[in-house]
Amino acid sequence: MKSAEIIAIGSELLGASRVDTNSLWLTEKLGDIGVEVQLKTVVGDDKARLEEAVADAVKRADVIITTGGLGPTEDDITRTCTANAVGRELAYHDELEANLRERFRAWGREMPEINKRQAYVIAGADILDNPHGSAVGMLLEIGEKRVINLPGPPRENQPMFTNYVLPRLRELVGDVFVVRREMKIVGMGESAVDEIAAPIYTAFEGVQTSILFNKTEVELQIAVRRDSKAEAEAIADDLTAKLSAAFGIAMFTTSGETMEAVVGRLLSERGETVAFAESCTGGLVSRRITEVPGSSEYFLEGLVAYSYPAKVRMLGVRQETLNEFGAVSAECAKEMAEGAVRVSGATHAVSITGIAGPGGGTEDKPVGTVYFAYAGPMGTRAIKLFLPGDRYLIRWRSSQAALDLLRRSLLRRGQ
């Protein structure tokens, strides 16, 4: 397996608020063709350090990729430092200067003299075209090694990598195909998921699995690596089917969909509609369902009834219910959901009422106590959950539980 190193260049990446995210995308694309990233460096606009970083990487790795530092200013030292690190000169390309002048002319501007720097290329390197910016990339072959300089902005470096670099690296490594699947499971933790999944996926060879907990759901990703695409796909399908059977209704997607997209698809397939009555989630469930393009087809309205009077007036919750049981109760949740169906005319409604904190908790109903109700053709039913975390997490987890309650109700009912 070929190894790679990635060097991210730019002093702004050494601050306390920016991370190098280019390397994540590159790592995945390199992984797809069987090239493994073994070291990553972030270095500022510092000639000595950058030269050393490139020279060391060339000693160790088969594929060396730099991102950034190809602009026209003094700070942009990638060209010079890479050339020095590999013992080459820079060569001036008149045709690149002509292209740059043309590009500026098209913008209605004169090319600043400073941009002439961008017409220098490491001697012997192939020039990688950049339709989205003024900095061209470079690809240098040194024996079996490949040194590649890409611009920093993702919208420039990603198409450049896909169009020019990937085919060249494929020549180097031969045919490897990676097929990925992303499954998501709700209502279980990471280790519980792994306990069920491990006996299944470990029976498959050449499959990489990763299990990630993401606020409210566990993402189970598989990557099947084979030298034929059809074979990789057949194995991915087989493994996905086995995992899906093992998790049942808890697995809500095998194709990386969001929970809101899954719920939207189920409603859309049935030609049915929904409304939400939200208290502690404050509009988050409505926001999530409307995140999906085309949601106006099935989402009628959201009623964010934050205060007691709003619950009474908007949803027809009875004052006696609030007095007797409080707003955070199964009774109130049921009346909210039934009220939402009644006033909106939607097929289904789900309500959420709870205590997101940090204040408002009591001994009986501590922060994290949340009631949900479903109302619709499946009747009315309420559930109570205790959700851990801070205000942000409790609200997020509540929104997920509300959508999941709707999903399970829709699936139970069938199509």
List, in order, residues 6 or more apart from 185 with CB less than 8 Å away: 193, 217, 218, 220, 247, 250, 251, 252
Q: Whose Cβ is closer to its own copies: residue 46's or residue 97's?
A: 46
Question: In angstroms, what is the minimal distance from the CB of 45 to its own copies?
Answer: 10
Does 27 help bind its own copies (rule: CB under 8 A)? yes
Q: How is residue 102 written in tokens?
A: 């043309």
How far apart, in Å, are the Cα atoms of 9 and each of 51, 287, 360?
Answer: 11, 38, 48
Does 189 help bind its own copies (rule: CB under 8 A)? no
Candidates 50-58, 111-119, 148-156, 404-412: pick the segment binding its own copies (CB under 8 A). Answer: 50-58
How far from the centroid of its chain's Cα atoms is residue 180's Cα?
Answer: 14
Q: Fill in the per-residue mask, 272 to 311: x = in contact with its own copies (CB under 8 A), - = not in contact.
A: ----x-x-xxxxxxxx-xxx-xxxx--xxxxxxxxx-xx-
Q: Give the whole-angstrom CA distance, residue 23 versus residue 6.
A: 7
Q: Whose Cβ is closer to its own copies: residue 150's or residue 280's?
A: 280
What residues pair up with 64 in beta bridges, in sequence order?
Answer: 5, 147
Question: In angstroms, what is the minimal distance from the CB of 300 to its own copies?
Answer: 5
Does 256 help bind its own copies (rule: CB under 8 A)? no
Among the listed residues 35, 43, 125, 236, the single contact to its own copies using CB under 8 A: 43
**DSSP per-residue string spanning 208-263:** EEEEEEETTEEEEEEEEEESSHHHHHHHHHHHHHHHHHHHGGGEEESS---HHHHH
Q: How many CB atoms lie within 10 A of CB 238?
A: 12
Tell which positions 380-409 bind its own copies, by CB under 8 A. 391-392, 395
Question: In angstroms, what is the minimal distance from the CB of 131 to its own copies?
Answer: 20
Candidates 42-50, 76-84, 157-165, 240-248: pick the segment binding its own copies (CB under 8 A). Answer: 42-50
How far apart, in Å, are the Cα atoms of 356 and each of 18, 133, 167, 323, 370?
Answer: 31, 47, 51, 21, 8
Report the b/e string of 37-57 with b at 16+ CB within 10 A.
beebbbbbbbeeebbebbbbb
Does 249 help bind its own copies (rule: CB under 8 A)? no
Does 343 help bind its own copies (rule: CB under 8 A)? yes
Positions that interact with its own copies (CB under 8 A):
14-17, 19-21, 24-25, 27-28, 31, 37-44, 46, 49, 52-53, 56, 60, 210, 212, 276, 278, 280-287, 289-291, 293-296, 299-307, 309-310, 313-314, 343-345, 357-359, 391-392, 395
